[in-house]
């Protein structure tokens, strides 16, 4: 059994031959010695000893960066606002598990996690040390040198401009430099001045270096300064939480508020509580913080949309933000793949800027990564000029990484990115940046609390009031209210924080921009809106420690709180009410659920990317079977001759080939799988259905990625344009056709994969990303005996088996006459009710789903795999989408595996759509457009 750090394993799988081995008498035979493929690359001890020797440090000149004291003095002088002190140190705490996170333990909880993360980074960074590598001159006049580091293409190691690197030059011994004669006695503390990730090299600034041998030992360092903004943000928000507990006696404890569903239904809509602090409401929202709703909304929105293609759910989300009728709590947008969450965030930002309102909004729009932030900016510049939008980049970002069309929206000073003049900065209506780069506003003392404090100082000074308690010696947000400056006189500058792809950032990541917009509790009644959009079911933050609490994003944690998870309109709530059955859900909504809290969230459900057959399994496993296919261009590959069974555009190819380790043991590849993937791509291109650039091949192992790329470029294929890459690189992208190479075929390496975060087995979020990239066709290549150990992969393979979408490995031995064959099984439509996917992570827990009697399989032939008898008789996950496809086949007179055209989505000519409309009208006898459950 292989424990998943994010999900417990539900059962123990049985592979062919296991029963015979278990029943055999006597001790097991001795196993032959096998090399440990995870062992580090061998480095001669005399090279490693050089790094342990004492040395004289020679520090280089660091790259230019923002001078924050000068910047602050340019608008606030030096008397009332000065530069912040260095980042506070981290301290260990006694917090031990994720269940102990409360407002009172917030500081200790995340300080402890960051300390563990820092420790893990120090342990992991040593694996990137380089020995006896050449250094090349780049610009000797400036002491710039080039260092080849191929791993930076995949952020291994993660580096940025301004980071420090240690180098020691090796002395030659005059004879082939083996062994070396030590080193020069100097340790050069170099700084990174440039990065070219595509070419795989760094530009280092190394003062006073004279190349002798030109060979160096290179040591990468943990840049603790990168965690400094997180530490400061945690401390700031913890102080605000502590202020709440000291000053708000009426603040309820966590989960101590009575459910609003039990309140008197005759009550009018009202706010349930206004006494808690902003920080507590944003980080620990309660049901009592919401707004009670007693009547159904009209479901019509009177706005002039910038994007005329917004669907109902997207419009509803934007309207809720404009009306701000849901209370002072975070507004969450759950956006599964292809549902348009970024489009919704962009529309919200534009509406806040241009919609007529008494409040003039200044928005911080951010994302965890520069790529996601660039996407937001590129969509906004279609409507906004450089006077309105500012793309804020830190000085550690290189110019080559910024899209050309965004450079006019950036501020460049002395050949590095920085902040513009303060007046110009305050005039921008929207600032687009990363969560981490929001620390620039913190360091520049441009947070809401700092600006409000400075405004109070200036106002009090002009009125002749005493400034005691307002001088800079006091901490941020700790000054006392002045009798001459009322709360309404201080206006907040930053009125909205919108975070896209919020599930990809850690909670400390999100705290940085949140600390910028957090208002001073003592001086203002205004509360900035806080909106997060993302998909907590896809890949989350990347950490070195792989601690589940730290890899749980704030979006995911908030969605698990009762305010969101127990709401009747949540995904799980809808699944419990009607399992996606619209008439039953609407009836219950109108008769029994009101009043309820006005939902502070929107669930996007309309997928505009994929064929329904591709969506079927992910919708059931991750989204409570709520996704609705709306894509139109999905049948481009329907006539491909490679489809099997019902000819749906999903196929699982069994692969019995072995996985093999790269020479240094850092990655794996599978040659048979490589050829299968390349031949599949070639078949699609030669059929004329797709162009090479419309096909994506992904694998969780970089060595398999490299070999597939090289193989496609050989004269036998000439498919250089096929997109090949690791699975993580495809999050947020889409392709017409996707081929997933699982690569792994040996069980004994699964433990190592889990520890290192490799592979795609027991990685549910990585599985979800891979399965939801395709638009017109999906092919998965893998060993079913290995994949079936993961319940998510078992669900997918069972789906393929039920519908005959399995292709046997032709290189495996022929199946004996009378043996079990997938082709001999009729994929009849099971008469099973839709399984509620609210049990997706735990459906297998505590149960046992053994495979068919392994003694009858005669070995681990991948072509003999089939689901367990229980799964065959009663499928665990038979989604609405799969049932609708089966029903449409039946209505079209397509029996068995007869080829037929498939239509995706549900339009007015779709038989499923017309049948559903007729049933609803008969049931309710009213027009659906008159009632909206929002």
Q: 333: pLDDT confidence band, cut at 50, 70 and 90?
A: very high
- Would 566 be classed as within a structural domain? no
* CATH number of the CATH domain containing 649: 3.40.50.300
**Position with higher pLDDT, 452 vs 80:** 452
What size, in residues, is the chain?
934
Average pLDDT, stretch 445-452? 92
499 bridge partner residues: 366, 532
Token pair in block for residue 573: 């709530």
**Residues above pLDDT 70, as percent of the chain:** 75
Average pLDDT, stretch 503-509? 95
Please tell me whether residues 677 and 790 are part of one structural domain.
yes
The answer on pLDDT for 712 being more than 50 is yes
Distance CA 337, CA 340 (A): 8
Whether cis (ω within 30° of 0) applies to the bond prior to 516 is no
The answer on pLDDT for 911 being more than 70 is no
The answer on pLDDT for 694 being more than 90 is yes
Average pLDDT, stretch 678-701? 96
Give whichever of 273-282, 429-438, 743-752, 815-824 has the largest mean pLDDT: 429-438
Per residue in 55-70, pLDDT (tens digit) is: 999 999 999 889 999 9
pLDDT at 62: 92
Distance CA 603, CA 818 (A): 49
Average pLDDT, stretch 113-120? 92
**Position with higher pLDDT, 257 vs 521:** 521
pLDDT at 580: 46
Please tell me whether residues 317 and 207 are part of one structural domain.
no
pLDDT at 914: 54
Please tell me whether residues 219 and 336 are part of one structural domain.
no
Domain boundary among the residues 167, 201, 230 is at: 230
- Would 794 be classed as within a structural domain? yes
Domain boundary among the residues 199, 230, 261 is at: 230
The answer on pLDDT for 190 being more than 90 is yes
pLDDT at 577: 63
- Would 348 be classed as within a structural domain? yes
The answer on pLDDT for 853 being more than 60 is no
Q: 33: pLDDT confidence band, cut at 50, 70 and 90?
A: low
Average pLDDT, stretch 169-194? 82
- Give the global pTM: 0.82
The answer on pLDDT for 772 being more than 50 is yes
- Chain CA centroid to CA 814, Å: 43
The answer on pLDDT for 202 being more than 70 is yes
Residues contacting residue 638 through CB under 8 Å, at least 6 positions apart: 647, 649, 776, 901, 902
- Would 313 be classed as within a structural domain? yes
pLDDT at 296: 77
- Would 293 be classed as within a structural domain? no
Please tell me whether residues 58 and 142 are part of one structural domain.
yes
Please tell me whether residues 530 and 627 are part of one structural domain.
no
Phi and psi for 600 in degrees, rounded to 5?
Answer: -85, 40
pLDDT at 96: 55
* CATH number of the CATH domain containing 138: 2.40.30.230
Distance CA 230, CA 291 (A): 32
Distance CA 867, CA 849 (A): 9
**What stretches of 788-904 show up as alpha helix (H) in DSSP?**
791-802, 869-873, 880-891
Distance CA 802, CA 87 (A): 58
**Position with higher pLDDT, 173 vs 74:** 74
**Residue 722, burial from CB neighbour count under 10 angstroms (0-12, 13-18, 19+):** buried
pLDDT at 854: 34
The answer on pLDDT for 663 being more than 50 is yes
- Would 160 be classed as within a structural domain? yes
Per residue in 543-601, pLDDT (tens digit) is: 888 888 999 999 999 999 999 999 988 888 776 665 444 444 444 554 567 788 899 99
- Would 929 be classed as within a structural domain? no
Distance CA 811, CA 696 (A): 25
Query: How crowded is residue 116: how many other Cβ atoms within 10 Å of its Cβ?
Result: 18
Please tell me whether residues 620 and 735 are part of one structural domain.
yes
Please tell me whether residues 633 and 723 are part of one structural domain.
yes
Please tell me whether residues 213 and 336 are part of one structural domain.
no
Per residue in 598-630, pLDDT (tens digit) is: 999 999 999 999 999 999 999 999 999 999 999
Q: 715: pLDDT confidence band, cut at 50, 70 and 90?
A: very high
**Position with higher pLDDT, 876 vs 113:** 113
Average pLDDT, stretch 837-858? 35
pLDDT at 749: 87
pLDDT at 9: 34
**Position with higher pLDDT, 579 vs 336:** 336
- Would 36 be classed as within a structural domain? no
Average pLDDT, stretch 636-645? 94
pLDDT at 310: 94
Average pLDDT, stretch 919-934? 43
Strands 164-169 and 186-196, bridge-based pairing: antiparallel
Please tell me whether residues 494 and 629 are part of one structural domain.
no
- Mean pLDDT score across all residues of the chain: 80
pLDDT at 557: 96
The answer on pLDDT for 781 being more than 60 is yes
Please tell me whether residues 60 and 164 are part of one structural domain.
yes
Residues contacting residue 246 through CB under 8 Å, at least 6 positions apart: none
Residues contacting residue 610 through CB under 8 Å, at least 6 positions apart: 337, 338, 629, 631, 634, 772, 774, 775, 904
CA torsion angle for 389, 390, 391, 396 (degrees, to 10)?
Answer: 180
Residues contacting residue 635 through CB under 8 Å, at least 6 positions apart: 611, 776, 901, 902, 903, 904
Q: 266: pLDDT confidence band, cut at 50, 70 and 90?
A: very low
Please tell me whether residues 224 and 322 are part of one structural domain.
no
Q: 201 with 149: CB under 8 angstroms?
A: yes
Q: Which of 798, 766, 764, 789 is nearest to 870 (CA)?
A: 798
The answer on pLDDT for 10 being more than 50 is no
Token pair in block for residue 380: 């906004």
Mean pLDDT is lowest, of 122-131, 410-419, 763-772, 921-930, for 921-930
Domain boundary among the residues 536, 568, 591 is at: 536
Please tell me whether residues 498 and 628 are part of one structural domain.
no
Domain span at residue 112?
A: 45-92+99-230
CA distances from 234 to 120, 231, 237, 240 (A): 20, 5, 5, 10
Number of H helices, E strands in the chain: 28, 29
pLDDT at 262: 32
Number of domains within the chain: 3
């Amino acid at each position: 059994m292989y424990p998943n750090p994010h999900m417990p394993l539900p059962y123990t799988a049985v592979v062919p031959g296991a029963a015979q081995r278990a029943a055999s008498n006597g001790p097991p035979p001795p196993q032959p010695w096998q090399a440990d493929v995870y062992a580090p690359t061998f480095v001669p001890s005399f090279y490693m000893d050089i790094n342990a020797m004492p040395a004289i440090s020679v520090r280089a000149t660091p790259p230019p960066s923002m001078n924050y004291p000068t910047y602050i003095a340019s608008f606030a002088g030096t008397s009332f606002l000065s530069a912040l002190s260095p980042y506070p140190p981290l301290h260990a705490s006694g917090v031990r598990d994720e269940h102990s996170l409360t407002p009172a333990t917030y500081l200790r909880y995340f300080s402890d996690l960051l300390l563990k993360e820092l420790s893990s980074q120090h342990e992991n960074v040593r694996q990137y040390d380089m020995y006896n590598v050449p250094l090349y001159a780049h610009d000797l006049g400036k002491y710039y040198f080039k260092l080849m580091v191929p791993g930076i293409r995949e952020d291994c190691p993660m580096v940025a401009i301004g980071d420090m690197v240690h180098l020691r030059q090796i002395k030659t011994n005059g004879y082939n430099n083996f062994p070396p004669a030590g080193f020069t006695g100097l340790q050069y503390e170099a700084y990174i001045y440039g990065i070219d990730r595509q070419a795989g090299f760094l530009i280092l600034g190394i003062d006073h270096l004279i190349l002798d041998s030109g060979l160096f030992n290179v040591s990468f360092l943990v840049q603790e300064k990168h965690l400094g903004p997180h530490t400061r943000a945690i401390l700031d928000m913890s102080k605000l939480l502590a202020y709440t507990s000291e000053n708000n006696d009426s603040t309820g404890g966590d989960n101590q508020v009575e459910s609003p569903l039990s309140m008197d239904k005759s009550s009018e809509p009202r706010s349930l509580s206004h006494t808690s602090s902003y920080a507590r409401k944003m980080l620990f929202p309660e049901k009592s913080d919401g707004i009670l709703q007693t009547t159904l909304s009209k479901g019509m929105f009177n706005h002039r949309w910038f994007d005329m293609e917004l669907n109902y759910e997207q419009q509803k989300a934007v309207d809720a933000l404009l009306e701000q009728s849901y209370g002072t709590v975070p507004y969450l947008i759950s956006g599964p793949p292809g549902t348009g969450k970024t489009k919704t965030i962009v529309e919200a930002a534009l509406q806040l800027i241009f919609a007529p309102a008494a409040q003039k909004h200044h928005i911080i729009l951010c994302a965890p990564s520069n790529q996601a932030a660039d996407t937001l900016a590129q969509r906004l510049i279609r409507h906004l000029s450089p006077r309105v939008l500012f793309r804020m980049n830190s000085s550690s970002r290189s110019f080559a990484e910024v899209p050309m069309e965004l450079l006019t929206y950036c501020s460049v000073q002395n050949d590095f990115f920085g902040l513009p003049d303060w007046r110009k900065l305050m005039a921008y209506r929207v600032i687009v940046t990363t969560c981490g780069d929001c620390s620039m506003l913190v360091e520049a003392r441009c947070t809401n609390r700092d600006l409000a404090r400075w405004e109070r100082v200036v106002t009090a000074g002009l009125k002749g009031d005493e400034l005691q308690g307002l001088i800079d010696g006091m901490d941020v947000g700790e000054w006392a209210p002045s009798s001459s400056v009322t709360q309404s006189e201080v206006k907040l500058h930053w009125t909205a924080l919108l975070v896209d792809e919020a599930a990809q950032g850690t909670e400390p990541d999100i705290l940085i921009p949140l600390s910028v917009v957090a208002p001073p509790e003592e001086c203002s009644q205004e509360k900035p809106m806080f909106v997060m959009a993302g998909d907590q079911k896809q890949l989350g933050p990347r950490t070195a420690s792989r601690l589940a609490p730290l890899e749980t994003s704030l979006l995911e944690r908030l969605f698990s709180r009762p305010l969101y998870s127990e709401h009747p309109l949540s995904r799980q709530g809808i699944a419990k009410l009607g399992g996606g059955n619209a008439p039953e859900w609407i009836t219950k909504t109108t008769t029994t659920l009101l009043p309820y809290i006005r939902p502070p969230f929107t669930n996007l459900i309309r997928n505009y990317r994929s064929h329904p057959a591709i969506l079927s399994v992910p919708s059931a496993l991750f989204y409570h079977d709520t996704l609705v296919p709306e894509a139109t261009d999905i049948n481009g590959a329907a006539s491909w001759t490679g489809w099997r069974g019902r000819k749906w555009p999903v196929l699982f190819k069994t692969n019995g080939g072995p996985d093999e380790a790269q020479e240094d043991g850092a990655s794996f590849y599978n040659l048979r799988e490589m050829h299968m993937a390349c031949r599949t791509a070639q078949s699609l291109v030669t059929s004329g259905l797709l162009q090479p650039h419309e096909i994506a091949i992904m694998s969780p192992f970089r060595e398999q990625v490299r070999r597939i790329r090289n193989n496609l470029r050989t004269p036998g294929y000439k498919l250089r344009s096929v997109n090949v890459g690791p699975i993580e690189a495809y999050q947020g992208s889409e392709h017409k056709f996707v081929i997933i190479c699982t690569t792994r075929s040996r069980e004994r390496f699964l433990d190592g994969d889990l520890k290192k975060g490799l592979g795609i087995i027991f990685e549910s979020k990585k599985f979800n990303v891979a399965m939801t990239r395709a638009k017109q066709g999906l092919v998965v290549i893998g060993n079913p005996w290995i994949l079936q150990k993961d319940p998510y992969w078992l669900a997918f393979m069972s789906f393929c088996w039920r519908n005959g979408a399995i292709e046997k490995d032709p290189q495996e031995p022929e199946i004996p006459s009378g043996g079990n064959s997938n082709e001999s099984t009729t994929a009849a439509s099971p008469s099973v009710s839709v399984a509620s996917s609210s049990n997706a992570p735990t459906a297998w827990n505590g149960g046992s789903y053994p495979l068919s009697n392994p003694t009858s399989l005669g070995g681990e032939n991948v072509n003999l795999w089939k689901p367990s008898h229980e799964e065959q008789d009663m499928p665990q996950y038979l989604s609405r989408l799969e049932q609708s496809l089966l029903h449409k086949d039946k209505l079209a007179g397509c029996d068995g595996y007869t080829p037929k055209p498939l239509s995706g989505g549900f339009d007015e000519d779709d038989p499923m759509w017309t049948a559903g409309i007729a049933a609803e009208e008969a049931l309710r006898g009213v027009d659906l457009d008159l009632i909206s459950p929002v």
